[in-house]
Structure 1
Amino acid sequence: MELTTSTILTGVAIIVGILLLIVLFTFVPVMLWISALAAGVRLSIFTLIGMRLRRVIPSRVVNPLIKAHKAGLDVTINQLESHYLAGGNVDRVVNALIAAHRANIELPFARGAAIDLAGRDVLEAVQMSVNPKVIETPFISGVAMDGIEVKAKARITVRANIDRLVGGAGEDTVIARVGEGIVSTIGSSQDHKKVLENPDLISRTVLSKGLDSGTAFEILSIDIADVDIGKNIGAVLQTEQAEADKNIAQAKAEERRAMAVAQEQEMTARVEEMRAKVVEAESQVPLAMAEALRSGNIGVMDYMNIKNITADTDMRDSIGNQSDSKDKDQ
């Protein structure tokens, strides 16, 4: 029975020891510590335990440290760990530092970490400093002074400016500035043929304006890849202006016609009103003459003279109307 108990205790001790070893090797990256020592990186095991306690994945820091040490970079584990805790990509920053060191580009760790935390790909920036990038713009339209539209497409060769990566504008700003320069250069040309004959005039003019100021790039060259003729904007504008002038003239003529019609209608109404007054006045004449006869203001002979004068007047009017009708027939 004692043998059995001791055997059980020994088995339990072995199991507990195995569990402790598993926990130890799981919590403490012993193999990673051995790899660091083999690579010549002096690192304390308690430093790795502290990383675990600070919720830092040790491999994300130690492996880049080994890589930097082998490349001859002076980088400390505290720098890498602080960058990891700030949310940066430690491995990418170390790769960028190694690439810059190989290319003789000055890139301190603080600047590389700042570029990475700013959201830019620091490794791509270093690679672009060594191997410039070509940015192609879409067709940009400009109108020369003779009214002809000219379309130009440019290829912009840029190199990353490490010093201005933090806070510098991106590719969209470079394309917008180059497009503005192309439009301005075409617009200042007297003749569109000059632009077609000398497309390098656009690139020289645009390149001399220093469009890369305030951006994260350095413009090396601007090459005009294609130039094409568009519409005759001047003729289109003149046609539209003539059409607008015609519409304005028609509107004014219609306004004058409406006013003339209104005036004619007003005159007709006035004439009708005067005719009505005349008819009314004529209707009062017999009554007035009757009243004058009754009151003795006029005599019978006076009345007969008036009738004779009226008859003579009607006869003359009749003869005049007949003469006018004969003249029209002839």
Structure 2
Amino acid sequence: MDLAPLISIVVIFVLIIFLLSMFLSFVPIGLWITALFSGVKVSIMTLVGMRFRRVQPIKIVNPMIKATKAGLNLSIDKLEAHYLAGGDVNSVVNALIAAQRANINLEFEQAAAIDLAGRDVLEAVQVSVNPKVIETPIISAVAKDGIEVKVKARVTVRANIERLVGGAGEETIIARVGEGVVTTVGSSTTHKEVLENPDKISKTVLDKGLDSGTAFEILSIDIADVDIGRNIGAQLQTDQAEADKKIAQAKAEERRAMAIAQEQEMKATVVQMQAKLVESESEVPLAIAEAFKNGKLGIMDYYNMKNVMADTQMRESIANSEERDQEHAESDKHKK
């Protein structure tokens, strides 16, 4: 039996199945049928063209079906252009549907710009409908009396669709609220004023127009918690006193060093004078001998000088003895 015709039929059949599967994978017939029955007018050639442009047809057709069912007037070309620009087509369509249900005026070009700017356009629409609460970290401020006040605030904001592109984010809101809290507490005379009227902080901060240039509209600022911290004024005064003390000690040490140097200098001067005195006294016997030799000093003059010197020594001895007796008497008195 000749099997060649049978093998040829099997090969042709396999080839047909392979070509058919390749065709169906490249040409999304099923997606085209789904779009047709959903009321989306898109041709087979348009879907094939998406394949050549490296666009996944399902990411364009499915959002288009949702938009059509929601009554939005969008075109395939706009969705495809946004996809090629790197945008999230599904998120933009969902945001447009949510905005339409909430009666928010949001055009496709605006939503696409917000999406390409890196913001979640669907979340922005949701925040615009349902306000969001931003909780600030603990903000430390010091009143005029030097007492630290710790404040924690909650800021209720609503997304401003018109300022989402180019508007500042949550970090700017938190920074501005923190600045307003520090300014308000710092202008208070005492910390008791802040504790008695915490709403003064929220009113003052809210009046500053902190949402200017941001992507949000501030609805309210509520003070969640107010605590007392350190006594910064007393601490600063203590630090200043300690610094003054160190400066005074340094100056005293400098004066002490100068006094020691002067004392050493005076001692050196005294030693020099004593050396000169000893040297002069050593020359006295030579002068006396020279006077005897020249006849300028007689023997009686010499004895009179000796008597004067002995009398002087005796007086000095008596004076020293009286000083010692007085010191001993005072010492005994203190002991008793």
Q: TM-score, normalization: structure 1?
A: 0.91
Return the offset for 1:327: 5.3
Question: Quick one: structure 1 residues 289 and 158, their matched pair in 2 at CA, closer, same or farther if it must change by over 3 Å?
Answer: same
- Once the two structures are superposed, residues 154-180 of structure 1 have per-residue CA deviations (whole angstroms, 9 ceiling, x without a partner) of 110011111222222221221111111
- 1:220 maps to 219
Query: Is the counterpart of residue 101 in structure 1 residue 116 in structure 2?
Result: no
- C-alpha deviation, 1:322, in angstroms: 4.2
Identical positions, percent: 68
- Structure-to-structure mapping, 1:226-241, within 5 angstroms: 226-241=225-240
Deviation digits for residues 52-75 of structure 1, max 9, x if unmatched? 111111101111111111112122
Task: State the one-letter code of the partner of 1:108.
Answer: E
Report the counterpart of residue 29 of structure 1 in structure 2: 28
SS of 1:287's partner is helix
Q: AA paired with 1:122?
A: V
1:317 to partner: Cα distance: 3.0
State whether structure 2 residue 291 is matched by structure 1 residue 277.
no
Residue by residue over 1:143-162, the C-alpha shift from the partner in whole angstroms, topping out at 9 and shown as x without a partner, is 11111211111110011111
Partner residue, 1:262: 261
Match for residue 206 of structure 1? 205
Matched, 1:126 2:125: yes
Q: Secondary structure at the match of 1:47?
A: helix
Match of 2:193 in 1: 194
Structure-2 separation of matches of 1:166 and 1:224? 30
Q: In the alignment, residue 120 of structure 1 is paired with which amino acid?
A: R
Tell me which moved more, 141-150 or 5-14: 5-14
Superposed displacement of residue 15, structure 1: 3.0
Report how far residue 187 of structure 1 moved: 0.7
The CA RMSD measured in Å over matched residues stands at 2.3
Distance 1:327 1:176 in 2: 81
1:125 aligned counterpart, secondary structure: helix
C-alpha displacement of 1:320: 3.8
1:95-128 per-position Cα deviation (integer Å, ceiling 9, x unaligned): 1111111112122222212221222111111100
Higher mean C-alpha displacement, 158-167 vs 88-97:
158-167
Q: Aligned letter for 1:79?
A: K
Match of residue 184 from structure 2: 185
The alpha-carbon distance between structure 1 residues 297 and 68, as it changes in their structure 2 partners (threshold 3 A), is same
Deviations 1:3-31 (A, max 9, x none): 96655544444333222211111110011
Q: 1:295 to 1:160 in 2, by over 3 A?
A: same
Counterpart residue number, 1:114: 113
Provide the secondary structure at the position in 2 that maps to 1:119: coil
In the alignment, what sits opposite 2:40?
41
* Partners of 2:322 and 2:38 in 1: CA distance: 137
1:139: which partner in 2?
A: 138
Residue 248 in 1 paired to residue 247 in 2? yes
Which sections of structure 1, spanning at least 5 residues, go unmatched?
Answer: none
Show the 5 A alignment for 1:27-106: 27-106=26-105
Match of 2:333 in 1: none
Residues of 1 paired with 2:312 and 2:294: CA distance? 27
For each residue in 1:177-218, what CA deviation from the matched residue of structure 2 results, as whole angstroms up to 9, or x when unmatched? 111111110110012111111111000000111111122111
Tell me the distance in 1 between the aligned counterparts of 2:229 and 2:327. 67
Alignment CA distance shift 1:317-1:92 (3 Å): same
How far, CA to CA, are the matches of 1:27 and 1:329 in structure 2? 126
CA distance in 1, matches of 2:278, 2:243: 52
Query: In the alignment, which residue of structure 2 is the partner of 1:149?
Result: 148
Matched residue type, 1:77: I
1:62/1:302 Cα in 2 relative to 1: closer, same or farther (>3 Å)?
A: same
Cα shift at 1:319 = 4.0
Counterpart secondary structure, 1:252: helix
Instruction: Give the Cα separation in 2 of the matches to 1:195 and 1:326.
Output: 76
Stretches of structure 2 that go unaligned for 5 or more consecutive residues are: 330-336
1:15 aligns with 2:14: yes
> For residues 197 and 326 of structure 2, what CA distance do their matches in structure 1 show?
81
Of the structure 1 ranges 131-140 and 300-309, higher mean CA displacement relative to structure 2 is found in: 300-309
Give, in angstroms, the shift of residue 311 of structure 1.
3.1
Letter in 2 for 1:247: K
